[in-house]
Structure formats: C-alpha cells, structure tokens
Structure 1
Amino acid sequence: MTHLVNQNVIINGTRISHGVHGEGSPVVLIHGTPSSSYIWRNILPSLVSAGYKVHVYDLLGYGLSERPCDPAIDTSVTGQVPILEGLLDIWGLDDLHVIAHDIGGGIAQRFGIQSPNRVRSLSMIDVVSYDSWPSKRTNEQMKAGLDKLIKAPDADHREHFREWFYSTVQNKERLAETSMETLLDFICGPVGQGSFFQHQVMHYDPKHTDEVAPRYAELGKNPVQLIWGADDAWQVVDWAHRLHDAIPGSELHVLQDCGHFSLEDQPEKISALLVDFLQRQR
C-alpha cells in the first residue's frame, strides 16, 4: 500500500498530511467520508500523466492527518475550509482546479463561494448538497445515539462498517480485493474507532451545505462539472440533477453501474472525464 500523502505540515496548530505530484497547472483533490486521500489513488496518475500538478491531503481527523483529542477543534465541513486555505498558502496556490468527492464537495462549495477568484474550475463527484445528508440509515443511527457504536467491540465495529462500505459500490468484489481493508483500518482499532465518531459522524450536519445552498448559482461563475453514480445509494442521483439545475452552465455526467464511491467503481471513466474537462479550461 502506497499512500499519496508523504509530507506533514502544521496548520492552525494541527498536523495535516499532504502530497504534491507531477508538474503543470495546479489541481487540488478533496476527499470525503468515511475515506481519505487514498480514494484518489486510481485517479491521480491520469491527472499527472495529462500534465497537472496534483495536490492531495487528508482532512483534519481523517486518514494520516492528526486526530485531535480536543473536542473543541472543529473537524466539520465548515471547520475544514480554513485547513484548505492554510494548505493553499503553503502550496502557494491562488488559481487552481478543485476536484471533490462526498463531503469534500461541501468544503469545495463553501470555498468556491467565498473565494471565486481562486477557483479555475470545480469538479464535484457524488457530493453532498442542500440537506441531502446524512443518509437515512446514518441519520437513524445518530438519533439512536452513538455511544453503543463507539463502545462496540472492535470486531463487531469492523464488520458493521464493512457492510457499510459495500453499500457504496456496485462492484463489491473489486472493493474487497483492493481497498476494503485500508478503508476499514482508518476507522477501526483503538484510535480509529473513537476518532471516526468524534471527527466524522458527529459532524454529519446538513447545515454546512444548507447555509450556502441559496448561493449555489454563484459557483457558475467558473466552469463546473458534476459526475455521479447512477446507483449512488447515499446521494441519490436526484440530488445531482437538482445541483445541476442550480448551477448555471454546469455539466452533468451520470455513470451507469456506479455507486457512491464512484472512484472505486469507475476510476477509468472518471479519470477520462476529469482530464477532458480540465483540458477544456485552458
């Protein structure tokens, strides 16, 4: 297993793992939950080969980045925006292409509306929007209380979320043979299990996208592409059409035989769409 993040930097007193690959026009990848920058492993090489300098990182509280002990440290969608801005300062980026997945889309939406002059283009893949999240299943678990899940035996926790991950893809065999155990390792064990609920699940709150939803049209000041799995069970494709309608001039591509973790199901098709879109923005 080779991680895409191979450097560390302190931003706002917390450690963020990041990596920079290739040369050319800058692209920043923002992952979602429950995942990490690892989810871009089949996408990044195509971007580098096409002549882009790809910047990737693990959100605060995710992947190889710090899992803060202090519950006052904000790892929500809104709290992640200053982390992104800090990284852009370190990378020296003022004009960049942004590609985001899942709640990474919520971060990208807030950043794109706040700083439209810094965004050259925006690609959003199976992202949250409006009050589309958390999913019905997750919402039921949250309402029932997280204590039971937090204190569950490691083996039970791991199997529970193994089934969770299977619900994100169409090609379950491929997921099992490639990234399943890595995805689970990040949210299981003595650190991962508690951190998952503290830094991810407890912040599953649609207010972070609902607050900016009335301004989605502003994202259309820059080129926007939406890519969606037709079989996305977490963010059903109806949300893709609603977001597409709200952003003037946006493009929408719906991929068949593809779930919420579309980067796992159809990385080749997504890579091709991303490269084509980016090359048209030059």
Structure 2
Amino acid sequence: MISYPHNAGSAMTRVIQGGLDGPVVVLLHGLSARADRWKHNLDALGQAGVRAMAIDLPGHGFASKHEDFDYSAHGYSRWLDQFVQTLGVEKLVLVGTSFGGFVAAHYAADHPERVAGLMAVGAIGLVPAGEARRMKTVQWLGEMQKEQIRSRMYRGVLDPQLISEELVEEDYRINNSAGAAEAFAALARYYRERLDDDAVAARLADAASRFPVSIVWGRDDPSVSPDYGARAHQIIAGSTLTFVDDCGHFPYWERPAEFNALLTNFVKRCI
C-alpha cells in the first residue's frame, strides 16, 4: 500500500492505495472514520489487478475540514465527482460503508454513466432511517471524548479484541483536530433536518439497470439494522443482498478474508 495527499477541487484528501495500475475502485468510509479502515482490503484488491483507492472524506481523517463545505450527501457527491475527474478514468467501481455507502449511492445515482458497479456495506440512507435512528447519530456526533469513542467502537463489533487502545487514541486525536467539531456539527444538522429526505434507493433503482449493485450487511449489525438492507434490496431491482455471518457493522474489518473474496469477485464482475 502507498499513501499520499491528493487535491480534489474544493478539498484536499488523503489516498491510501493498493495496486498501481488497472481499473479504479474507490472506497469510502463511514462517519468519524477515515481511509485506513480499509487497510485489510486494499492489498487484496491490488493483487486482483485493480487500483484500489481509499480516501478520507472532507471533514474526516486527514482531509480538509472547512466550515463552508456542504456536508450533505449531495455536497459529498459533488466533491467526489471532482475527485473522480482528477483520475482521468471513464468508469470506476464504488464501495462505501455506512455514511460512505450513502455518498457512493448518491454519486452512482447522479452519475450512472461513470459507475461500473456499486457495493454498499451496512449503508445508512438507502431507505429512510427514521427519527429515533437519526437522533442517535446526532447525539454521538457531538461526543468525541475517549470513553465515548471507545464505547461506540465496542458496540459496533462482536469481537472486542479488534478495539485496541492505540486505535481509540488515534480516533480521539483525529476527531478532535482543527475543524473536526465544526464538520461534525454540520453533519449532525444534516442528520437532524434532511437525511431522510435524501434517501436514495428509489433514485438508485432507476440507475442500477446500467451497473451491478451489491448490498452487503453484517448479519448482527447493531448500528444500522440489516432490515434496512433488505428493504433497499426490494426497491433496487436486480441488486444482490449478502449477509456476512458473525460480524456487526464492519464486515470488511471483522471478517476481512470472507469480505475480500466477496469484494474481489464483485469487482471482477464489474470490470
């Protein structure tokens, strides 16, 4: 893997890349996470003959954290298009988890001609989340102390050994860096006021006849209920729905071998 900064229009990002050549696969992380959440998956994709690029979304990780960025799915989709244009490719495969799956799905609906395939992993926002679910996220976006971060991480996985104190410390430092609080506050407002209005499954259903759509969920996901994936699958005709056993919200991290086989097979199907 290699890592480097990359300027994409209105915001700088960090790229962590597996594979130097071949068709492009872009991977998007979830809220308060960052590109290195995909560290167990990038080399597997590179070995499959593609250029896999995990990126920090604006407001996260080592990307720009501007107060005036549009932290909605539409705003992220516009920025992602700026990033894609810098790559000079005609088509790419998008993989997104949680909020990153929401962003990837919006981009795919906005620009179906540029998408060779979409995999949404435990994605919020495909169907309406409902007020109770949205307000849980609104609350924790304002809670970035170590104990709160640690508690959320433990709730998201079945195997507590995945959560090291080094990981908690790193998340704490990055999510309290300059501009992070303002970005999370903007995201909280978006969740409170507009997230469900932007539910994207119906729009994606119109575009998905042009490329494969894979919906993947941890069977025991405590964060975004597997029912959301089942409902989205019913709306998006032709999509596939796969449940990964014995894991929670992070199948790419909790069950990397199983997930990598699923992911590489999907990418090969798309390219």
Question: TM over 0.5, yes or no?
Answer: yes
Q: CA deviation at 1:223?
A: 0.7
Aligned length: 266
- CA-based RMSD of the aligned residues comes to 2.5
Q: Return 5+ residue gaps in structure 2 as ranges.
A: none
Superimposed CA distance per residue, residues 88-127 of structure 1 (whole angstroms, 9 cap, x where no aligned partner): 1111122111111111111111111121111111111110
Name 1:276's counterpart in structure 2. Answer: 265
1:196-235 aligned at under 5 Å gives the runs 197-204=184-191, 205-207=194-196, 209-210=198-199, 212-221=200-209, 222-235=211-224
Name 2:161's counterpart in structure 1. Answer: 173
2:12 corresponds to which of 12, 15, 24 = 15
Name 1:89's counterpart in structure 2. Answer: 85
SS for the counterpart of 1:191 is coil
Q: Percent identity, aligned pairs only? A: 25
For the 8 Å contact 1:185–1:192, the answer to whether it is kept is no
Name 1:248's counterpart in structure 2. Answer: 237
2:62 corresponds to which of 43, 61, 64 = 64
TM-score under structure 1 normalisation? 0.84
1:49 corresponds to which of 44, 47, 50 = 47
For the 8 Å contact 1:5–1:18, the answer to whether it is kept is yes
1:122 corresponds to which of 93, 107, 118 = 118
Residue 31 to residue 135, structure 1, CA distance change in 2 (3 Å):
farther
Name 1:191's counterpart in structure 2. Answer: 178
**CA–CA distance in 1 between the matches of 2:166 and 2:258?**
18
Please tell me whether residue 79 in structure 1 is matched to residue 75 in structure 2.
yes
**CA–CA distance in 1 between the matches of 2:136 and 2:162?**
29
Residue 273 to residue 113, structure 1, CA distance change in 2 (3 Å):
same
Name 1:266's counterpart in structure 2. Answer: 255
Q: CA deviation at 1:21?
A: 3.5
Name 2:38's counterpart in structure 1. Answer: 40
For the 8 Å contact 1:40–1:263, the answer to whether it is kept is yes
For the 8 Å contact 2:146–2:168, the answer to whether it is kept is no
1:96-135 aligned at under 5 Å gives the runs 96-128=92-124, 129-132=126-129
For the 8 Å contact 1:27–1:96, the answer to whether it is kept is yes
SS for the counterpart of 2:121 is strand
Q: CA deviation at 1:169?
A: 0.8
2:25 corresponds to which of 24, 27, 33 = 27
**CA–CA distance in 2 between the matches of 1:86 and 1:193?**
22
SS for the counterpart of 1:272 is helix
Q: CA deviation at 1:133?
A: 6.3
Letter in 2 for 1:32: G
**CA–CA distance in 1 between the matches of 2:81 and 2:164?**
35
For the 8 Å contact 2:129–2:196, the answer to whether it is kept is no
